[in-house]
Amino acid sequence: MFSFVKDPRLGIFLPQLDLEWAQYNKETQQEILLKWEKIRGSIPDRIKELEEEINFKQAQLNDEADFERSCELNSEIADHASIINDLWLWYRMNQHVSSTKVHS
């Protein structure tokens, strides 16, 4: 009926719902929300990890003389920034959904 599958790009588990939300009974909804809230709580830590990697790559970029390697580092930094953006979207979007569903 539902599962949580690790997204290799984001590095977190995301919900995979087989039904529309309203088709789940209240117990199942609560179970899904409880699991999601635990995962959601780990998102800021995942973002911090990525920010540290960006900082490391930026430090490398500051000392890099090879143009091709500089381009690779810039691309890696942009990829990490994109992942951070997506993680924040998941964190914020589901914060509203979770609080609405729990109290309804």
Is residue 7 in some structural domain? yes
- Whether 14 maps to a domain, the answer reads yes
Q: Is residue 54 part of a domain?
A: yes
- pTM of the predicted structure, to 2 decimals: 0.83
Domain extent, residue 78, equals 2-92
List the structure tokens of 37: 């809230």
- What is residue 91's predicted lDDT score, i.e. its pLDDT? 93
Does residue 30 sit within a domain?
Answer: yes
Does residue 6 sit within a domain? yes
Residue 53 inside a domain? The answer is yes
67-103 helix and 26-63 helix, angle to the nearest 10 degrees: 160
Could you tell me if residue 40 is inside a domain? yes
How many domains does the chain divide into?
1
| Tens digits of residue pLDDT in 74-103 | 999 999 999 999 999 999 975 545 444 444
Mean pLDDT of 36-48: 96
Domain assignment of residue 78, yes or no: yes
